[in-house]
Amino acid sequence: MPSFPELLSAFVLLWAVIDPIGTLPVFIASTKNLTPAERRKVARLAALTAGGILIFFIVVGEILLRAMGVPLLAFQIAGGLILFLFALTMVFGESKPEGELHSIRSAEDVAIFPLATPSIASPGAMMAVVLLTENSSHSILQQAIVAVLAILVVGIVYLLMLASAPISRVIGPGGASIVSRVMGLILASIAASNVLEGIKDYFA
């Protein structure tokens, strides 16, 4: 059974890469012309699709890597570097809401793109769940717990999307941008730790 600090670290990592607060402005802007019933449908489809994508990577992500001959330590280091670069864009570049608002095309596909991916099930989130469920260092129970935590965070995103209207009035676009940058800093620290651990284990 994972310790509480391990569970907290996994939850914080998943929260940072999924970024529920940062998804709100994307959802609000992409569904502003829809009825309340349509917005609920979009939120439900986006959450289910994102959850399915993350579970897929938890189940077969490492298998695919091994089939392609990619060592998991190499993936850990590469994933950590990419997560770090992703975190830098959150801190110094356009925030997640600002960047993904440019990706919105039409109401027909907003549930899948940009909401389900890359907003909720981002490339960083896909890498994170693979690293958190490495078969050689995590038991089936630990991997199941990571899957539950990932679904929990996606569930929080779903609830926030349902409550998007009052939340947006409270925090505003500036508040969402601040939260995104703070989570970027936390994510950069976690990514650096993953790279250092991968390098240490590789040379050991």
pLDDT digits (tens, 9 = 90+) for 128-164: 899 899 887 888 999 999 999 999 999 999 999 999 8
Q: How many folded domains does the chain comprise?
A: 1
Q: In terms of residue numbers, what domain contains 184?
A: 4-203
pLDDT digits (tens, 9 = 90+) for 25-54: 778 767 877 888 889 999 999 999 999 999
DSSP string, 129-195: HHHHT-TTTS-HHHHHHHHHHHHHHHHHHHHHHHTHHHHHHHHHHHHHHHHHHHHHHHHHHHHHHHH
Q: What tokens appear for 52 in the block?
A: 């399915």
Q: What tokens appear for 75 in the block?
A: 């993936």
Which are the contacts of 104, defined by CB distance < 8 A and separation ≥ 6?
A: 26, 29, 30, 110, 114
| pTM of the predicted structure, to 2 decimals | 0.75
- Percent of the chain scoring above 70 in pLDDT: 91
Closest by CA to 2, choosing from 149, 121, 125, is: 149
CB 181 within 8 A of CB 90: yes
Q: What tokens appear for 42 in the block?
A: 């979009």
CB 18 within 8 A of CB 157: yes
Q: What tokens appear for 54 in the block?
A: 């993350």
Closest by CA to 175, choosing from 58, 95, 87, is: 95
Q: What is the CATH number of the domain that holds 78?
A: 1.20.1250
